[in-house]
Amino acid sequence: MSKKMHATPMLDQLESGPWPSFITGIKRLAKDNDMAVDLLGQLEHSYETRKGYWKGGTASVIGYGGGVIPRFSEVAEKFPESKEFHTIRIMPAPAMHYDTATLRKFCDIWEKFGSGLIALHGQTGDVMLQGCTTENIQPAFDEFNKLGFDMGGAGPSVRTGMSCVGHARCEHSCYDEGRAHREVLNSFIDDIHRPALPYKFKFKFSGCGNDCMNSVQRSDMAVIGTWRDDIQVDQAEVKNFVKAKGREYVIDNVTTRCPTQCLKLKADDTLEIDNRNCVRCMHCINVMTKALSPGKDRGVTILAGGKRTLKIGDLLGTMIVPFMKLETDEDFGKLVALSRNLMEFWVENGLEHERCGEMIERIGLNNLIEGLGMEVDPNMVRHPRTNPYVRLDGWDDEIERLKQVKAG
Amino acid sequence: MSAQPRMPTESGTPDHFQYMHPTLRRNYGQWSWHERPRPGVLHHVSRTGDQVWTVRAGTQRQMDVHTIRKLCDIADKYADGYVRFTIRSNIEFMVADEKKVKPLIEALTKEGFPIGGTGNSVSMISHTQGWLHCDIPGTDASGVVKSLMDELHQEFINEDMPNRVKITTSCCQINCGGQGDIAINVQHTKPPRINHDLVANLCERPSVVARCPVAAIRPAMVNGRPSLEVDERKCICCGACYPPCPPMQINDPEHSKIAIWVGGKNSNARSKPSLHKLVAAGIPNNPPRWPEAAAVVKKILAVYKQDAHAWERMGEWVERIGWPRFFELTGLPFTKFHVDNWRGARASLNTSAHVRF
């Protein structure tokens, strides 16, 4: 291991400055890893020519159809040691907790079989073990697998899930995100490892409306914590907060910032909340962490169809379940069943390479809700339709049906 | 006779309790409130009376094993041997004793890991793979982010923005970086250049045709071989055809530019989640330091910092002051390209007599 370093005048410029440098890190690897030497060479070549030089291909492990991102160099004659530079995706634990013993084992395995470069974490939420020859994929994966880690999704499959720190270290957490994450994802193991869906399908779990996992736009099914009853108010702590910050601060930064104007600072420095009009946005609770907390009757709101740009433009998820409890084993069973129903409806009705949100755009929300065996709810829309282009000859029958449903 | 291959253990997402700091494990679901004693430090208090201090530090995301081991050494010596990562690749060390905070911060700072990214700071940029690993990138990711975070270092280690700022980058129009208060994304400006000799062998032509958002791709015979052609008047240069058909090269050293978008928000706090909007384009893709893109980002941040009210995210600030004022304050030109003409565009037009002077 002593391949001569390529000249990298452009990359060298990324070694200065106060932020940690990935170039310095790769150079350190290059001292005893020739793959890293040629990786730097190819990257410099990209910087010089302003073009990328990796192409996809096929690489996998026994028993799985996905989870490896194959990369073959198009300039391998110049940089032969990194001609194969595959990534292995590994699913971390919910909220990305690690003990150092585990991380050190990761490093040892990857130093032995790969380039020594690990991204913590990729945008989907995987541990990205970057830089592996075709030959070494299997032995490297075997080692991670023996440690209790499994491969994440890639291609048209269920992808690795993500959940916020939630219950482990956040007072805003409205449900057990880690449990929901594991129960849902681990019910789809076959769909994670053997890509056979129209396209990718992502689940993300945020414990409250702050949506730290960005689930509303980054997942096909977003599970966001909420509550049904009143915000818990500790009026003594409200008074302490007002005393510390002043009435003006509280009015400017708490009460007038409420999107539905449901907060009022009373003359005696207590807070009055019109809970019927609270939309669970989290703002006041974010500001007054000691005085205010989510209510006690907690559960989740579920949105479907968030995605990134291609093909039809970025989409935010849309509400399909305004509220469901998520506490008992039965509740979690219902969540898993719902996720299964949503995905199966999309598998049945989605076009090739069409995300769930694009399908909803194409067929309309009504068809999805009907397909899921659910009823529409005014919480699913910002406002009713603004155009008369709809057949209403079923109106009376529908009113009658709804009456029957209501009557049970 | 070779040995039987090892079949995978399909264990899925592992149990998180085994990797969790004991104080977090003990108080799972029991947390009561939190405060931020200083930028980069969180202090959480449990209903059981337990407390935990979290120190957050920035990393380069693409980490070599030596850096990870260094972080492990720090965690072992100063933070009970446990860490966790945020989705923006910040690392968090938890300690149950306040006295451990200062030496932990000193150790991280000494090794070059900036402490911050909490509260009203500019956190680490969530980013993609770029030239380091992606098969379709128009630019690099890690390098852009390193350059920008060097420039925004003070904004990471301090909490003096009106509200939190989440920046994202994406090296093609797929937008893997996602929505951000500021998004820095590649924007191609020329249609793909097609190598007709390779299309028939490499591309599943019907699915490439189906990928095009504007139906600009048609099957065609070129030089006596089956290929694809692009109606360049229709083409919006999104690059959707390039991943399934590499001979339709969309990346161009000159014409793949950078565009900047503002006002993306995933949180529900105050206003509903929102998508980012185009504010600047035509910015050169200029490695290794991308100074032109950095200048625009810094200008936007400076104006936001000065003009926004406390707790206003960038998009909320612009909604309050109006887009004309945003363009005026930032000095960015408003052009015909800013006026949406994609499906649903009508919803973005001003259907009122509201105007500010």
Query: What tens digit of pLDDT does each residue of B253-307 get?
Result: 999 999 999 999 999 999 999 999 999 999 999 999 999 999 999 999 999 999 9
State the count of interchain CB pairs (< 8 A) between A and B: 362
**Residues B252-265: pLDDT tens digits?**
999 999 999 999 99
Which residues in chain B have Cβ-Cβ distances shorter than 8 Å to A52? 130-131, 134-138, 251
A177-219 pLDDT, tens digit per residue, is 999 999 999 999 999 999 999 999 999 999 999 999 999 999 9
- Within 10 A of B127 (CB to CB), how many other CB atoms are there? 29
> 3-state DSSP call for residue B216?
coil
Contacts of B64 in chain A (CB under 8 A): 22, 25-26, 28-29, 116-118
Spatial contact of A204 and A158, defined as CB atoms under 8 Å apart = no
In the beta sheet, which residues pair with residue B57? B91, B115
Q: Which CATH number fits domain A9-146: 3.40.50.2300, 3.30.70.2500, 3.30.360.10, 3.90.1150.10?
A: 3.30.70.2500
The pTM (predicted TM-score) of the whole model is 0.97
- Mutate which of A98, A102, A117, A307 to test chain B, going by most B C-beta atoms within 10 A? A98
Q: Does A185 touch chain B (CB under 8 A)?
A: yes
Residue with tokens 């970057």: A130
When the pLDDT of each residue in chain A is averaged and rounded to a whole number, the result is 97
Q: Evaluate if residue B349 carries a pLDDT over 80.
A: yes
CATH class for the domain made up of B16-110: alpha beta
Q: pLDDT at position B5, please?
A: 86
- Contact state of A209 with B275 under an 8 Å Cβ cutoff: no
Kindly state the average pLDDT of the residues A232-238.
Answer: 98
Residue B32's CB is within 10 A of a number of other CB atoms, namely 17
Q: What are the structural domain ranges in chain B?
A: 16-110, 141-189+253-338, 193-246
Q: Name the DSSP class of A157.
A: S
Contact criterion met (CB < 8 Å) for A151 and B147: no
Asked whether the bond before B43 is cis by omega within 30 degrees of 0, the reply is no
Indicate if the pLDDT at residue B78 is higher than 70: yes
The pLDDT of residue A1 is: 56
Question: What is the separation, in whole angstroms, between the first and last Cα of chain A?
Answer: 74
Q: Pick one of 3.40.640.10, 3.20.20.140, 3.30.465.10, 3.30.413.10 as the CATH number of B141-189+253-338.
A: 3.30.413.10
| Mean pLDDT across A86-94 | 98
Residue A268: is it exposed, middle or buried by C-beta count within 10 angstroms (0-12/13-18/19+)?
Answer: exposed
Strand partners of residue A87: A69, A130
The pair phi, psi for residue A145, each rounded to 5°, is -60, -40
pLDDT of B231 above 60: yes
Does the pLDDT at position A45 exceed 80? yes
pLDDT score for B4: 83
Residue carrying the six token digits 């029991």: B30
Which of A42, A189, A214 has the highest number of chain B CBs within 10 A, making it the mutation to test binding with B? A214
B69 phi and psi angles, rounded to 5 deg: -65, -35
Q: Assess whether the region A9-146 and the region A232-293 belong to the same CATH fold.
A: yes
Burial code (b: 16+ CB inside 10 Å, e: under 16) for B314-348 equals bbbbbeebebeebbebbebeeeeebeeeeeeeeee
Q: Any idea where the domains of chain A sit in the sequence? A: 9-146, 162-228+297-371, 232-293
DSSP B126: B
Tell the residue number behind the tokens 């500790």, with chain if given: A234
Question: Which CATH code fits A232-293?
Answer: 3.30.70.20
Question: Quick one: tokens of A312?
Answer: 């039809």
Q: At B5, which amino acid appears? A: P
Q: B141-189+253-338 with B193-246: one CATH topology? A: no
Query: What does the alpha-carbon distance between residue B216 and residue B233 come to, in Å, rounded to a whole number?
Result: 8
- DSSP labels, B12-49: -SPPSGGGS-HHHHHTTT-EEEEEEEETTEEEEEETTS
Q: Looking at the domain B193-246, which fold is it?
A: Alpha-Beta Plaits (3.30.70)
- Dihedral angle at the C-alpha atoms of A313, A318, A320, A322, nearest 10 degrees? 170
The token pair at A376 is 């529409």
Class of residue A163 by CB neighbours under 10 A (exposed 0-12, middle 13-18, buried 19+) = buried
CA angle A57, A60, A64 (to 5 degrees): 135
- Considering only CA atoms, give the Rg of chain A: 26
DSSP conformation letters of B293-314: HHHHHHHHHHHHHHHSPTT--H
- 8 Å CB contact of B25 and A212: no
CB-nearest to A353 from B13, B211, B267 is B211
pLDDT in tens, A219-229: 999 999 999 99
How far, in Å, CA of A16 to CA of A19, rounded? 8
Is residue A120 within 8 angstroms of chain B, CB to CB?
yes
Q: Given this model, what pLDDT does residue B1 score?
A: 52
Q: Classify A162-228+297-371 by CATH class.
A: alpha beta
The backbone region for B271, taken as left when phi is positive above 0, alpha when psi lies in -120 to 50, beta otherwise, is beta
